[in-house]
Structures are given as structure tokens and as C-alpha cells.
Amino acid sequence: MFELFSDLSLGLILLLLLSLLMVLAFEFINGFHDTANAVATVIYTQSMKPTHAVIASGLFNFIGVATGGLAVAYSIIHLLPVDVLISNDTNRMLAMTFALLIGAITWNIGTWYFGLPASSSHTLIGSILGVGLVNTFLAGEDLATGVNWSKAIDVGLALLISPFVGFIIAGIMLLCLKRFVPEANIHKSPYQRNEVEGRKHPPFWTRFFLILSALGVSFAHGSNDGQKGVGLVMMILIAIVPAGFVINLNTTQYEIERTLLAASRLESFQNTYQTQITQSFSDYKPLNKSTTDISCQIGNLSQDVHALKNTLAGIKEFKSLSADTRWKIRSHLMCLDDAAKHFQKLEGLSKADETYLKSLRKDLALTTEYAPLWVIFAVATALGLGTMVGWKRVVKTVGEGIGKKEMTYAQGVCAQVTATISIGFANLFGLPVSTTQVLSSGVAGTMVANQSGLQWVTIRNILLAWLFTFPVAMILSGGLFFLLATLLA
């Protein structure tokens, strides 16, 4: 691994270390910012001691990152337009990364300080949108192309819908428990049980499910939020050490052959549906070229395929290729993936064709959407360690501040099971969602179902944090990027 950095100057090495430390700092803050949402109910209901809860949560966050895949990581990266991602303008890419990290960290610390369950996912995505728009403004391009809006809409819908899903499912689950499991102890709060029986611990099976669901939320949080840090680290490595990270140097000959076959099949698909493609994308405007001589547009698909075939003819591994050739391979593959993504939007496309294009995109991404194990474990460690500190401020908000009555054991189980399932499904589709929002809305849903009422002051503060996260993160990161880009110009 370390030989990849041997040709860097001392200045670039220091810049690389600073950049990586900032990403790990973001994940560390993400850990203690969001961990309260994973352990709030299990601590508040006296199911586990705080020390045991945060250590277990940290461990399962670590496992979640290590085993969660990379779909969410690259969903975040692809919020930026493809022409930005294939640009080899190192200074601009670094300025974007620094700006979005500083903006995200600033807002996360602020909301944590005031005990507000704000969303790290919202913050990071807002920061990416901010630098994307400012980058477009600086380049003198159309603002409509400054962000991958189709991906942004998908991500935005996931973030918008998931809290409502959490609210409804958790509320329905509690109503079912009250109807079919009317045992009094399950529906008591720790303080109510202490008054009657002199102990706060929940009944055995309730305690078991509270602990199990808390660990499930921690695992789901790691597998979703941890991937975002992995994506940011890969952006930095590609910007500073492109020769070693633009494509996976450990790609096997079989994977190279699969990639080439996918490119050929995509060209055949284009030829088959040429009429529909021409009609559907007659107004398609290619993004302006960056510093690279490759411009991603559908009309260039055949040229990209042929260039890729010529470059990879007889190649069994990527390590023997020059840095410039590796970058061109990445650029051609990302352009082909972008074309396939556009083809998926063709009207009247059959389900079989949609599945076919999805499989082609997966094969095209074999060499570009990856992360070394050391990156995954570094992010997992930062998130896991961050989980073990700073949890107190938000636990009280989740346990006592959302409803007018204290949280019952059953409410804790319903909110946590809902969060685990919701985030797990989001991971399957590669969608970044907010652990904070899903769990907080789940708690609110159980409060309404339990006829406990809501504390509107707290709800108002949470909603204001939710409302302002996007614009504030965009302004912070966009302003910082404008400043950095101007200084580096």
C-alpha cells in the first residue's frame, strides 16, 4: 500500500494526511453525533448501562461499515456531475472536498452542542450540493448541470420519505403491541415501573428486544453512514494520488473481460434502440469539458467503447499501465455508465431491459467503484470510536423531549425496530437515509399512538434543524469552496 505514496512530495503527503484526518474527524463526529439515536432508547429504558451500550454500539457501527458494501458511498459521490468526477483538476477537487467537510463538520458540531437530533446525511449531501453549484458558477456553466439532479432527487426523496415511514410504521407497531400484548409492564416507563415494583429494568423479553434492536440500529447506521466517509476518502485519494486509485489495481483479468463485454453490450443496446434514443435525447446537452479531453455525452458512446477496447486489448492487469492510461480508462467507464443511466430513463422500456441495463452498469463499475480494505477499516474505526463519546446531549431529547410523557419500553422497541428495518432496506437500494430522522420520527409516532402528546417546542426545534440543514450546509460549503477556489486560482 505505502509504495503508492512513494512518489509524492512532502507537501502533497502533508496535504493528503490533513485531508484524510478531516474525513476521519467527520466520521468521528458523525459517530458521537448520531450514536445517541442508536443508544437513546436502550439507555433511557434502563436496558443497558450507558458505558456498555455505547461500547456495544461502537462495535456494531464498526461491523456495519466493514460489511455494508459501497452502494451508498458511490451514491454520495455521484451527486456531482460525471464531468467533474473525471476531471483531473487536483486543486479544484481538493478545494471541493475541504469545503464540504468543513461545512458539514461545523453544522454537525453546532447541532450536537444544542442537543438537536439533526441529520449528518442531510448535512453532507447539502454540502456536496453547495460545492457543486458554486463549481458550476465559477466555470460559467448552466446551474442546471452543476449537480447530478436525477441522483439528487432520488437521494432527496429517500431523506424526505423515510421520516414519515418511520413515524407511521412505529406508531402502527405500537398499536399492535397494545392490542395483542397488553402486558402492563411493557407499556410502562422506567419511572412508572420503579414506583410500583422498585426497579427500572424492563421485563426480560422486552429488554432482550430493546438491546437487540439497539445493536441493529447501530449496525444499520454503520452500514449506511459509514459508507459516506469511505466515498469521501476515495475522492481525496483519486484527487491526490490518481495513479494508484483512479481504478482498482487489483482488478482480475476476469473482471477486465466482464467490463469489456459490458461495454460491447451497451453499444449493441444503443444500436438496437437508436431511434428511441435519438428521439428521447434530441435536446440532450453534453456537459462542458473540464481539463480532460473526454466529454461525457451519449453521442460519444461508440468512441468510448472503441477507445476502451483498444486500451485494454491483451491487458491482464492494470498495474502495468501508465497513470494517464488508468485515468482515461476510468473516464471512459464513467461516461459509459452515465450513458447507461440515461438509457434507463427511456419511455416504454421493459422490466427485462431495465434489469439488463442495471447489470451492465454493475459490470462497468467493477474497476471504478471500490475501496481498499484499509480505507474501510480506518473509517469504521473512526465511526466506532466516535460512537463511544458525546451521547448524553441527545439521549435526553429523544427519551423525554419528544413526547409529553416518558418513553415506555414498548415505544423504545417499536422505534428501534422500525429504524433498523428502514435503514436496512435503504442500504439494499444504495440510498443514504438519516438514522436521526428515522428514529426520532419513530419515537414521535409511538408518542402519538400512545396518546402521550408531543412537546411541540422540541418538535419545532428538530424541524427547524431539519429545515435549515440543507441551506446552511450548502451556504457554508459553497462559500468556503468559492474562497478556496479563488485562492488556488
Residue type present at position 256: I
Q: What are phi and psi of 70, to 5 degrees?
A: -130, 5
**Phi, then psi, of 380 in degrees rounded to 5:** -60, -40
Compute φ and ψ for 269, nearest 5 degrees: -60, -45
What are the backbone dihedrals phi and psi of residue 454, each rounded to the nearest 5 degrees, phi first? -115, 145
Closest listed residue to residue 214, CA positions, set 465, 398, 77? 398
Cell of 248: 482498482
* Residue whose C-alpha cell is 416518558: 406
User: Amino acid identity of 109?
Assistant: I
Amino acid 1: pLDDT: 56
Instruction: Say what the pLDDT of residue 378 is.
Output: 92
Q: What pLDDT, on a 0 to 100 scale, did the predictor assign at position 29? A: 83
Q: What is the pLDDT of residue 199?
A: 65
Residue in the block written with cell 429545515? 467
Residue 268 has a pLDDT of 93
Question: In the prediction, which pLDDT does 458 show?
Answer: 66
What is the predicted pLDDT for the residue at 196?
66
Are the CB atoms for 23 and 101 separated by under 8 Å? Answer: yes
**All three cell numbers of 386:** 466516535
**Is-contact 192 470, C-beta < 8 A?**
no
Return the closest-CA partner of residue 390 out of 39, 107, 125, 24: 39
Give the pLDDT score at 364.
92
CB 422 within 8 A of CB 165: yes
Q: Is 341 exposed, middle or buried (0-12, 13-18, 19+ CB in 10 A)?
A: middle
Helix (H, G, I), strand (E, B) or coil at 291: coil
CB burial string 236-245: b at 16+ within 10 A, e below: bbbbbbbebb
Residue 258: the pLDDT is: 93
Q: Give yes or no for a contact between 145 and 136, defined as CB atoms under 8 angstroms apart.
A: yes
Distance between CA atoms of residues 344 and 413, nearest Å: 40
Q: 115: phi > 0 → left, psi -120 to 50 → alpha, else beta; which?
A: left
Rounded Cα distance between 376 and 378, Å, is 6
346 backbone dihedrals φ, ψ, rounded to 5°: -60, 135
Q: Could you say which residues of the chain have pLDDT below 70?
A: 1-7, 33-37, 81-84, 86-88, 115-118, 142-148, 151, 184, 194-200, 282-295, 390-404, 453, 457-458, 461-462, 489
DSSP state of 268: H
